Amino acid sequence: HKHTAPTNIIKLMLAIRRLLNSYIQVGGDLTDINDSNKENSAVEAPPPEHDPTVVSSLLEMVVILWRSVEKALKQNEEADKYTTAKFGSVMAKYFQVFQDERSTAPLLQMASLMPPAAVPTFSCGVLSRLRRMDPRAASAQYCHLLDCICSWGQTADVLELVTDWLSEALPKQGKKAAKGRRVQILETVEAKPDLALVYLEYLFSHTSAQEKVLALCQGPLKQLHTVLGKWKLVLYTHLSATTEDPELPRVETALNAFTYHVRLSAHLQHNLTEGRDYLLSVEDVAGWVADRVLPFLRRLNENDAEKSQQLAARITESFLSVCRDILLVGLADDAFKGQVLHLCSLILLSELGYMCIPAVLPILKEVVNSCVPIDISQDQENPEESSAVLLGVVANIFQKIIELLARRLKKEPEEGKQLCQSAAPGLTDFLQVAQTWGKAPLSGVFSTVFAAIVVEKRHLLQKITHPEEVIVPQSVDDMPLLSSILLSVVLKSPSVTGAFLSEVGSSLDSEAISSLTELAAVLHVLAVVKHSGRSKGDWKRAAVSVQQQIHSHAVSSVDGSDIQRVIYASSVTTLNEILEL
């Protein structure tokens, strides 16, 4: 159909219409909609009954063809009116006869392609159907109805319904609340906040619908934004409650409304031609999370409910997820980035802040991504340059993350292992972005990774009590857990591996690594890198730096313990293998 003239496509649509009409003429006289001439009507007798599979396929064909000529019809008013009138005259009967589920979807799509006046019987009841919809309804039951509403320019009506439901479902206070509840008894349809949020999800996740919503005047959107913001109070009530309140809206509803409040702030900020009013709104929410939510990220005592701890983590992670999206689409200015990084710091300082590490890492990645390396290279003499300051904070937060991972592995090995595995994708993405800089302040990121690996491996070597325990690792799986996770992340990318080995070489040249166990730890790392086949030139240069230092430990190892002598001998053997001597 892409290579067919619009006129011919419309003729084909009308031919399909005649075939569809033949199905609905069975059992009744529908001469008013039978527009075929005598010659055509004599060609084939109407089938005795319609086949739902055939009918639904024909309807789907009409929708596809109509959409292909939609632009052409808009440019030809006469053809548009003719086509709409032809299909509009039979739509009521189509809805009456073709009631199987597969036929309903294309019928609703066809209705969305016509003005509401062309399908009056159907269009006048769409909003009512949305209002009466079961909150547990599948998306197929409401998505096409929402498409119709949006295409007919009635988006404000749906938004008003959503706002009303979300507002009515909020807990009322005092006598005014009691009076309000008595009035609501007269309502024919009770508030459905979960369905309101489902409608919002659909409206904002489909481009055409989203454009219609955001094209509305600011009044309804601001009202919705305000109502969504009030759900923070419901969340806090759930956080601080020691027992369940059956009168309170569900915690899932409150959390979704909270998330949509922040998401709507981002959409509205994107629509602003100037100012940062809605970024400021998100920053206010960040302050609320810091003041009201983070205090619940603590160890449980007898007065605490475990659900509060878990809910606090979910609220924090949900907020950070939307902040990541705001950074990703380029809406954030430096002030916003600074506020979000400050919140990340406060999260990690919380007693159980480590639970949110997988949500913090994407924030660091997007902040780095938003700072172009050329910014700092042009102005290195100004230490207060905003990008340099932000990246310095990022490097400090990353260091804190590695410290927390190491601490959890030491205190709770199984929990620490799960945390490291959850953090691995975020670590991978962050290091991939960080390596593009190759200079301060982000070079410190690889220094942190290298130091963590060396410290963990050195600690393991120092704990050895028998010479046979000195074993050179052949792969990341042979390394202690944190080192294994970090090295597996590093070795996923040649460029990240190169940046890491460059930091290894710099640390060795600066003699920051000097003891025998530290040099042995470095050689174990290089052995793993060698077996991975990555960055041959880089690990050989690092091995040469080790070679220049390790022979100074030959005398001390002779005078030392058996363990020291075995570590030294093993290190020399490993070094010779790496350098292929």
**How far is Cα 329 from Cα 322, in angstroms, rounded to an integer?**
11
Reading the block at residue 364, the tokens are 């660091």
Indicate if the pLDDT at residue 303 is higher than 90. no
Give the single-character DSSP code of 42. Answer: T
Q: Strand locations in 285-324, DSSP E? A: none
Q: What pLDDT, on a 0 to 100 scale, did the predictor assign at position 558? A: 54
Q: What pLDDT, on a 0 to 100 scale, did the predictor assign at position 513? A: 81
Q: What pLDDT, on a 0 to 100 scale, did the predictor assign at position 305? A: 61
**How far is Cα 231 from Cα 166, in angstroms, rounded to an integer?**
9
Q: What pLDDT, on a 0 to 100 scale, did the predictor assign at position 210? A: 92
pLDDT (tens digit, 9 = 90+) per residue, 222-257?
A: 999 999 999 999 999 999 887 777 888 999 999 999
Write down the mean pLDDT value for the chain. 85
What H or E segment, with its residue span, contains residue 142?
Answer: none
Q: What pLDDT, on a 0 to 100 scale, did the predictor assign at position 557? A: 55
Measured CA to CA in angstroms, residue 123 lies from 130, 131, 373 at distances of 12, 14, 55
3-state secondary structure of 169: coil
Ordered by start, the domain boundaries in the chain are 6-124
Percent of the chain with pLDDT over 90: 54
**How far is Cα 277 from Cα 267, in angstroms, rounded to an integer?**
12
**302-306, 367-371, 501-505, 526-530 — which is least confidently predicted?**
302-306
Indicate if the pLDDT at residue 467 is higher than 90. no
Q: Binning pLDDT at 50, 70 and 90, where does residue 469 land? A: confident
Listed residue (161, 150, 88, 98) closest to 122, CA to CA:
88
Listed residue (531, 529, 565, 576) closest to 546, CA to CA:
576
For tokens 């983590």, name the residue. 313
Q: What pLDDT, on a 0 to 100 scale, did the predictor assign at position 441? A: 77
- Mean pLDDT (whole number) for 569-575: 87
**How far is Cα 507 from Cα 198, in angstroms, rounded to an integer?**
54
- Mean pLDDT (whole number) for 427-455: 88
pTM comes to: 0.85
**268-277, 314-323, 480-489 — which is least confidently predicted?**
268-277
